[in-house]
Amino acid sequence: MARTRLYRKGKLESEGFPIADVSDHLGEPDVTVWFDLCTPTRADLDAISEELGLHPLAIEDALHANQRPKLDVYDTHMFLNVYATHFDPDNGRLESIEASAFVTERALVTVRTSEAFSIDQVQRRWDSGGALAEHGVAFLLHGLLDYVVDSHFEVVQAMDEEIEKLEEGLFQETLPGPGEQRRTFELRKSLVNLRRVVAPMREVVNTLFRRNDVIRDSSLAPYFQDVYDHAVRAAEWTDSLRDLVGNIREAHMTMANNKMNLIMKRVTSWAAIIAVPTMITGFYGQNVPYPGSGQPWGFWTSTGLWVVAAIVLYTQFKKRDWL
């Protein structure tokens, strides 16, 4: 069953009808149509292009994955490209699901690259919109953007919680292990990827918010303003978390260097304590006559010298916190 909907004067009149009937419905008065394509072929997009008069460049962008989030404006329609996101807290990895939309005066066509882009959640937003459905395509477009930006915001919140756990680990006496270091790296990588899909959304939503031909009634403007505010907050939050993870990684490296310096100081200190008695015993072990040679007092003198030297060195190193 095709995912299709028809609104007439703000009321959901029918859904699930064949996509081939879309052109017939668009000829009716006071009608807004939405239909969804998941992993369409070139033939599928060419067919709707003839019906809706879509630009060839927009068709190409919809067929080629990994486009940046953007809003292209053509004479008869707009082309929107966005990414919904999902974060896995177990491994710290981010999943981005791409989707596109063709926005005409009376129709919205969504093109998804995967079923992971939950169009069901978008439909639930439309169903809870109530009287706002009378705004037609602008109402449908708001629901789509609201789902996308909310997915960004949820991911940023989840990442913030994971980063707080990393911050707490900084105050432990033990150094971070390979697992914690790898998690820090994965979080930083995910934040970089998240920023690529979050940051451009400010420009996308702001452009729609300021276009009078999209938002014809001021009563819908606060809803687009709310989406824009969430997009800005998500982008700023992502930037701050990326800097924070970088600081945590630097702190890990600093702690490791400090630990290494402490170990080197201790090893050097003990080597010095051992070296001085070795020097003294080596002097008294010469095969030539020296004061006290062959005498008991000579033995006790050498013993006393290295004992005193060892105690003095140990005391001085301990005073400087080298031991």
Same structural domain for residues 223 and 275?
Answer: no
Beta bridge partners of residue 99, listed in sequence order: 82, 112
Does pLDDT of 111 surpass 70? yes
Q: Are 50 and 114 found together in one domain?
A: yes
Mean pLDDT of 187-194: 90
Domain that holds residue 56: 2-256
| pLDDT, position 228 | 92
Domain's final residue, options 214, 241, 256: 256
Average pLDDT over residues 110-132: 91
Q: How confident is the model at residue 292 (pLDDT cuts 50, 70, 90)?
A: low
Average pLDDT over the chain, rounded to whole? 84
Whether 24 has a pLDDT exceeding 80, the answer reads yes
pLDDT at 293 over 90: no
Shared-domain flag, residues 190 and 238: yes
Residue 141: pLDDT above 60? yes
Q: Which of 81-85, 111-115, 134-138, 286-290 has the lowest mean pLDDT?
A: 286-290
Q: How many domains are there within the chain?
A: 2
Contact 284, 298 (CB under 8 A): yes
CATH of the domain at 276: 1.20.58
Same domain, 160 and 302: no
Q: Which of 214, 236, 256 is the last residue of a domain?
A: 256
Confidence bin at 289 (pLDDT 50/70/90): low
**146 and 283 inside one domain:** no
- Domain end position, chosen among 241, 256, 271: 256
Per the model's pLDDT, the better-predicted residue between 298 and 19 turns out to be 19
Mean pLDDT calculated for residue range 300-314: 77
Q: Are residues 166 and 276 in the same domain?
A: no
| Domain at 8, CATH number | 3.30.460.20
Using the predicted structure, report yes or no on whether residue 81 has a pLDDT greater than 90: yes
**Residue 59's pLDDT band (cuts 50, 70, 90):** very high
| pLDDT band at 176; cut points 50, 70, 90 | low
